Amino acid sequence: MIALLLLVSCSKPPEAPLAPELHGWSEEAALVVDGLAEVKGLWKQNQREAARKLAEQVYTDRWEPRLERASMQVDPAAARQTEYAFGLLLVELETRAGRDHVEERIRALDERVEAAAKAAEQRFPPPGQAGAPAVVSDGAPSRPIVPPVAPAWDDPPEEGSPAH
């Protein structure tokens, strides 16, 4: 699973990242860091399988869509190291490593994610700030790039969704 995630993320050319329209890069990082804190909490409560599944979700739903793309544009080596760190965390969670190992992996990931957000903030400032790309308007309404609220991890899936 981990190898497949890494292969898929590295096999296609990254799309140019855009600054979030509804919140900043630091809030993007906070979504990842908060998700990793939830993983650590589940791990401490001996909910090992739930921790592993949530870690995968944090990677695919929080890191990969925006910060990973921006990080690949700013510092591809750092982006790959962060991807690798996520892979190591997933391995630790699958092999039932000691709590100290998992907590150290999460701490290291937190630092990497926050560094990626700072770099993205400098390279891709939000619209309206100095250095931001000009907003092109051809009369079409703009669409939000990032949902206005964080994903609700605990909400039950809707009827007819793939998880049902």
DSSP class per residue in the chain: -HHHHHHHHHHSPPPPP---SSS-HHHHHHHHHHHHHHHHHHHHTT-HHHHHHHHHHIIIIIIIIIIIHHHHHH-HHHHHHHHHHHHHHHHHHHTT--HHHHHHHHHHHHHHHHHHHHHHHHHSPPTTSTTPPPPP-SSPPP--SS-SS---TTSPPPTTSTT-
Read off the pTM.
0.66
In this prediction, residue 128 carries a pLDDT of 55
In this prediction, residue 160 carries a pLDDT of 58
In this prediction, residue 159 carries a pLDDT of 60
Q: Which tokens belong to 149?
A: 């609220």
Distance CA 28, CA 73 (A): 16
> Each residue's pLDDT tens digit in the chain (164 positions)?
554 454 445 555 444 444 455 568 899 999 999 999 999 999 999 999 999 999 999 999 999 988 999 999 999 999 999 999 999 999 989 887 677 789 999 999 999 999 999 999 888 876 655 555 444 445 544 443 443 444 445 555 556 555 54
- Return the closest-CA partner of residue 62 out of 85, 36, 24: 36
